[in-house]
């Protein structure tokens, strides 16, 4: 019987804004914006290089950034360094703009919960099912969850940059189960990445995958979780 659920963060419970929204918000806050053609080109290049954390993956990683990219979720410094480097590779080199873009993605305004995130978490709480967020991430998600009214529904956070290891390492799922106070056989892992989130199977956890879609295209992706509790 499932008594606890570990959820991935990005693409599972919440989704980051689009690259257009991300860049547009930062430029508007700075009091300026390029012409339409330049803006479209900047969005295209930022998307190509995967510069938005939580957004599309890079089409390719420059050779000199391969190690930094691979280890980006292990520390806060490496996470910032990796994504700001990709922003510069995309051709946006103004240091203030690069910094503002990275900082923007950590704000509550940059993220939207999926429509069924809060209802699902509330129902789990009502049933007495413990919940953890297990994420490969380089920054603290707790303020974001508080801002969206979700923190009170989370029993434990297991974040790669705090633990020094990342999914699919079984150690991070073990930490999640320990945070829930449950054996792996009683814990369900829910995520959108078959490789990373699927690593929980090694411990004996059940795993359920959702699609990493825009918020308006996935209104009820988490509903099957309740059916899996048994």
Q: Are 19 and 113 in contact (CB under 8 A)?
A: no
145-194 confidence digits (pLDDT tens) = 999 999 999 999 999 999 999 999 999 999 999 999 999 999 999 999 99
126 is in which domain, residue-wise?
A: 4-15+111-227
Tell whether 64 and 123 lie within a shared domain: no
- Number of independent structural domains in the chain: 2
Residue 11 sits in the same domain as residue 81: no
Phi, psi of 92 (to 5 degrees): -95, 100
pLDDT for res 230: 72
Quote the CA–CA distance of 130 and 117 in Å, as a whole number. 15
User: Is residue 28 domain-shared with residue 8, that is, in the same domain?
Assistant: no
What is the percentage of the chain residues whose pLDDT exceeds 90?
96
Report the alpha-carbon distance of residue 191 to residue 52 in Å, rounded: 20
Residue that terminates a domain, selected from 58, 88, 109 = 109
Query: For residue 83, what pLDDT is reported?
Result: 98
| Cβ partners under 8 Å of residue 62, min gap 6 | 89
Choose the final residue of a domain: 109, 139, 171. 109
Last residue of a domain, one of 109, 131, 149: 109
pTM of the model: 0.96
105-146 pLDDT per residue, tens: 999 999 999 999 999 999 999 999 999 999 999 999 999 999
């Amino acid at each position: 019987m499932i008594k606890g659920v570990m959820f991935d963060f990005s693409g599972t419970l919440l989704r980051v804004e689009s690259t257009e929204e991300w860049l547009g918000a930062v430029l508007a806050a700075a009091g300026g914006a390029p012409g339409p053609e330049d803006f479209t080109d900047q969005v295209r290049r930022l998307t190509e290089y995967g510069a938005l954390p939580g957004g599309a993956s890079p089409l390719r990683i420059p050779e000199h950034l391969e190690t930094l990219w691979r280890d980006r979720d292990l520390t806060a410094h490496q996470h910032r360094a990796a994504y700001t480097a990709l922003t510069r590779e995309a051709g946006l080199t103004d240091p203030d703009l690069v910094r503002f873009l990275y900082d923007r993605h950590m704000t509550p305004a940059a993220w939207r919960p999926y429509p069924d995130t809060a209802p699902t978490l509330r129902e789990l709480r009502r049933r007495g099912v413990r919940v953890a967020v297990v994420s490969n991430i380089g920054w603290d998600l707790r303020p974001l969850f508080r801002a969206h009214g979700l923190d009170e529904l989370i029993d434990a956070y297991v974040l790669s940059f705090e633990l020094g290891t990342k999914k699919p390492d079984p150690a991070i799922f073990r930490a999640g189960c320990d945070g829930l106070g449950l054996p792996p056989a009683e814990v369900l892992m829910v995520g959108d990445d078959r490789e990373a989130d699927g690593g929980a199977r090694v411990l004996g956890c059940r795993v359920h995958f959702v699609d990493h879609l825009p918020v308006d295209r996935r209104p009820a992706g988490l509903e099957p979780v309740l059916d899996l509790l048994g």
